[in-house]
Structure 1
């Protein structure tokens, strides 16, 4: 790890060469990171000892990572999803979630302090991710870590919870007393959606696999339907104000649309922007995707009187702060099933891809 002198950053006090030193105004210029040099299976991931750490911009924060969760998006990008965006930028660093300590800050950062424990998540399109001893996030992508949880537990929360938050709060604007259907409640986004909705006073029905029934009911769902054993179209009764579909697919979409009240919101995580961009290239694919979304929005607005959305995670400082408060009070929790040291990132991706572990996988940094 390399360290250089600087006058541009506030830095933390530490005797370790992994940390920044106030007396010498130093900051880390290289560190250990997991790099994706090409698309492929888990075996393509490389743990490199000296990956460059860019200089901080005024609004950015350097975070010493303690834990980073493995998201489905990580394995999909590694396999080639979004190659039209990420391909020209290879090698990249995977990872979205992080929990750790503030090591240094740009001059415009005011809401955090050096040495403070924080957690947060990067945007889905970030190319310098959190599988790194030191990660860079903007101030709005971070919040104080809930003191009631460990770094491992905290790292499992932000990306999934912010994805659910954007759909439910920013888009559907759910309110107390409304009915919500979460398709795929056993996953991290679905589980976060259940807990956020319950905290808002909503009545939640969800679909999930048999192994997740007890978990989603404990999270506050009033009805949990095992989609592997029951026909959800006939088992679930009544209409809903909003549907969050984490699974996607034409048949699931058709069923969900018919469950909605007029004026309701259908939100899916499985938008076509990335796949169409991969097929046609960004220059053609994005306009085609925009047209496809608009066509569906017009179709369902006139045929069913509902709003149709593709939903993605994005930074939301207000949302992350509320997520922190919910986690602090025990109202929002994403269970971690297994941890791996960062040196075993290949094994972690193999376990995630083969669905050997039911629940979140987290990478730990020594």
Structure 2
């Protein structure tokens, strides 16, 4: 059998769009690292997608601790190649342009996901260029503001609880800082898969965390967790040794061979050696912007098995106030920026 050779074409594959985007957009940027007030509004060019990327009109952007750390000169600040820079990882919005007609996310699709900031511009802007594999369809039951609070925190919790700890029926899991963005998802995922969940948090959050699935809530302001728990299978540490030697005390409450997972980068450089000396396993963790996992999380959100809690919503221009609120340290769940109308 003879095959006809494919004809080459000098024409580019057309990008499918809802409407032509403007040349420039409103965004929040910072020109140098520092306190929250380095964040300010600016007009910047709308980014252009290439190959399989999507151009998304951002309706809402999530605010995460890594955003504040980066703005302050830590986090991923060392990877910022030029200033001014538009920060932000989380977004929920509407696809403006898709690479080809049969693409899984055609123009007009409501999506949510994570941006590869600072390799690209961030989500504190009216438009963003997004890798196809880092997004999923927005859960139908959520508003854009609610959906924007999900991606980074939920994907981190999913990676910790499901992919690293392999949560299962009867497993004993201790989660530090359970009322935060990552923490409140980790509690729900661990409980969903049948684990017995113990959480450290402030006393005011105890009733809420029990509603989310925690079996035991320890008020860290009044009780030292290492005096009341022992023989844990897994400790998910969202604090580290930056406060009250949380990490050092955590490895001591694990059963022999138990697993200690440290999340905040740089919060306890000596964790691996300490875990080895205590006869337990240890690993750090970094979030993976996996669109397939995000789609699974979306189905759990739509079914009501998991929920996202939005503590406060700020307008895009008030990003500095949002960062100050986050750094105050009393956020329950997530803070979100409202970027544009639905």
* Band of TM-score, shorter chain: 0.7 to 0.9
- In the alignment, is the contact (CA less than 8 A) between 2:135 and 2:290 conserved in 1? no
**Cα deviation code 1:192-245 (max 9, x no counterpart):** 101111111111111001221112111000000000011211122x32221110
Structure that is richer in helix per residue: 1
- Structure 1 alignment gaps of length 5 or more: 1-5, 13-19, 21-25, 276-288
Tell me the CA shift for residue 299 of structure 1. Answer: 5.8
1:300 alignment counterpart: 275
- Aligned partners of 2:292, 2:222: CA distance in 1, in Å? 39
In structure 2, do the counterparts of structure 1 residues 219 and 123 end up closer, same or farther at CA, with 3 Å as the change threshold?
farther
* Residue 338, structure 1, aligned to residue 330, structure 2: no
2:122 alignment counterpart: 129
Q: The residue matched to 2:251 in structure 1 has which SS?
A: helix
- In the alignment, is the contact (CA less than 8 A) between 1:123 and 1:314 conserved in 2? no
Q: Which of the residues 270, 282, 291 maps onto 1:317?
A: 291
- In the alignment, is the contact (CA less than 8 A) between 1:94 and 1:130 conserved in 2? yes
Q: The residue matched to 1:261 in structure 2 has which SS?
A: strand
Q: The residue matched to 2:252 in structure 1 has which SS?
A: helix
2:303 alignment counterpart: 329
- In the alignment, is the contact (CA less than 8 A) between 2:80 and 2:118 conserved in 1? no
- Aligned partners of 2:169, 2:319: CA distance in 1, in Å? 42
- Aligned partners of 1:175, 1:109: CA distance in 2, in Å? 39
In structure 2, do the counterparts of structure 1 residues 355 and 130 end up closer, same or farther at CA, with 3 Å as the change threshold?
same
TM-score scaled to structure 1, two decimals? 0.82
- Aligned partners of 1:261, 1:318: CA distance in 2, in Å? 33
Q: The residue matched to 2:222 in structure 1 has which SS?
A: coil
1:158 alignment counterpart: 151
- Structure 2 alignment gaps of length 5 or more: 1-11
Q: The residue matched to 1:262 in structure 2 has which SS?
A: strand
Aligned residue-pair number: 327
* Residue 43, structure 1, aligned to residue 37, structure 2: yes
* Residue 9, structure 1, aligned to residue 11, structure 2: no
Q: After TM superposition, list the pairs within 5 Å mapping 1:1-366 onto structure 2.
A: 8-12=14-18, 20=19, 26-49=20-43, 51-82=44-75, 85-107=78-100, 110-123=103-116, 125-236=118-229, 238-249=230-241, 251-272=245-266, 297=272, 300-301=275-276, 303-355=277-329, 358-366=332-340
- In the alignment, is the contact (CA less than 8 A) between 2:135 and 2:291 conserved in 1? yes
In structure 2, do the counterparts of structure 1 residues 213 and 312 end up closer, same or farther at CA, with 3 Å as the change threshold?
same
Tell me the CA shift for residue 8 of structure 1. Answer: 3.9
1:285 alignment counterpart: none
- Aligned partners of 1:39, 1:109: CA distance in 2, in Å? 42
Tell me the CA shift for residue 125 of structure 1. Answer: 4.7
